[in-house]
Structure 1
Amino acid sequence: MAETDPRPNRAGANGGAIGRVLAVNVGIRLPLVVAGAGTEAVVMSAIRKHPLSTLHHPIAVGVHVRGLAGDEQADPTVHGGRDKAVYAYPIEHYTWWNARRREAGVEEAERPLAFGAMGENLTLQGLLESVLWIGDHVRVGEVDLIVRAPRQPCYKLNAIMGYAHAARDMVRSGYTGVYLSVATPGVLRAGDAAVVIPGPREVSVENINQRTNP
């Protein structure tokens, strides 16, 4: 799965961290089977993303104010719109999720999660929640993104992870990833640096996650 780089994130000249994009992922609205209280239902969801641009095939992907070209959202109250146009997730958490799925007895758990498995548009390396603050800018190629909020997962995450408490585990772990708005549209691709330009630094993503899960 992973085309990763063992180097830790670096600090830019402005003091912000520098990571990089490992994959750019998109998805379309498709039926998703969800379970709860002994019943099953089918809902529309675009949570299942697939990599469009990787380090081996760094295809340029357009980004506009409402998200990535070719990407769809089924429920704009949860994902989409200007403040949740792009969802980014750190590759560093994938090992933890692979272990959780094995512990939960998920049948497919022996196969490592692929890029986009968390429903993210950008699979990032080196930019954990602990280095991001609300209002920080993240420059990727010619695209300028702004950190807006950590993810608050819903039941659809349970469905794609294959076990009932995945959303709870995301909240408790703080491994939420972040939603980003698009300040400057353009194109980006896998391999691009993701450079953090510090914003007002009043509220950190990590602090919000800690308040959500005291």
Structure 2
Amino acid sequence: MKTTIDQLFIGRVRPLLPECEPTGIYKTAVDRPLRLGATGLEGDEQADLRHHGGPWKALHHYPAEHYAVLAQEWPQAADLLAAGVLGENVSTHGLTEHDLCIGDILRMGSARVQVSQPRAPCWKIDRRIKVDGASRFVEAAGVTGWYYAVLTPGELAPGDTIELEERPSPALTLADYWDAVLAHRPDPQVLRRIAAAPGLAPDKAERCRERADWLERNGASR
């Protein structure tokens, strides 16, 4: 599995209209190498550090081809739906949630990163593209993008290669993760296997374990 970085994006915190809520969703493409550290790219900011950023969400990757799916769903927003609009740092073609697994370790430029979780869309997507319910559609369609934790800091630049180095959980793609966690009554054992996946963000693992416990207490087959 090998592809290249098409574009890199960073941004400072800005107000998101109409509520003027601070957000880091506005990003600008850069054409120079950027240092990637434990909590993200140099020059990039997140407003709500409880839900965004940090070591388990250091880098956000969104497939450029997903924008065609979104434009087909909302043709009135098609002119806006282009790489960078959903706040991603890394944009590529040829790599989606069906191709990557939780815990995959990738060489990206001179850095090494690990797939830690899919992105959980929030209401700020609705505001950014001016479409009510956009975040719900992005989640339901599984076109969410994903986050990386940084294992080895380094530099990234447009045109750099992204290459798979290790795959500890080959049966757990990001698409499989969404199928399980969005199911009405998933198999508790499936949730426990997800929770045990190497590289999965600890909060996501804990939620899977808690839901598995609840389902077992309340009868998973009802």
Q: TM-score, normalised by structure 2?
A: 0.78
2:54 to 81, 86, 90: 81
Distance across 2 between alignment mates of 1:118 and 1:134: 21
Distance across 1 between alignment mates of 2:165 and 2:12: 31
- Structure-2 residue corresponding to 1:6: none
- Structure-1 residue corresponding to 2:155: 187
Distance across 1 between alignment mates of 2:128 and 2:73: 13
**C-alpha displacement of 1:76:** 1.5
- Structure-2 residue corresponding to 1:209: 178
Where do 1:22-101 residues align within 5 Å?
A: 22-34=6-18, 41-53=19-31, 59-101=32-74
Q: Which has the higher contact order (CA 8 A, sep 6+)?
A: 1
Indicate yes or no: 2:5 matched with 1:21.
yes
Say if 2:5 and 2:160, in contact at 8 Å, map to a contact too: yes
1:138 to 86, 106, 118: 106
Name the larger-Rg structure. 2
Say if 1:51 and 1:115, in contact at 8 Å, map to a contact too: no
Greater helix share, structure number? 2
Greater strand share, structure number? 1
2:130 to 154, 162, 168: 162
Q: RMSD of aligned C-alpha atoms?
A: 1.4
Unaligned runs of 5+ in 1: 1-16, 35-40, 54-58
**How many pairs align?**
182
Unaligned runs of 5+ in 2: 184-222
Deviation larger for 109-118 or 157-166: 109-118
Q: State the identity as a percent.
A: 32
Say if 1:29 and 1:45, in contact at 8 Å, map to a contact too: yes
| Structure 1 ranges of 4+ moved more than 3 A | none
Amino acid at match of 1:66: T
Amino acid at match of 1:210: D
**C-alpha displacement of 1:110:** 4.6
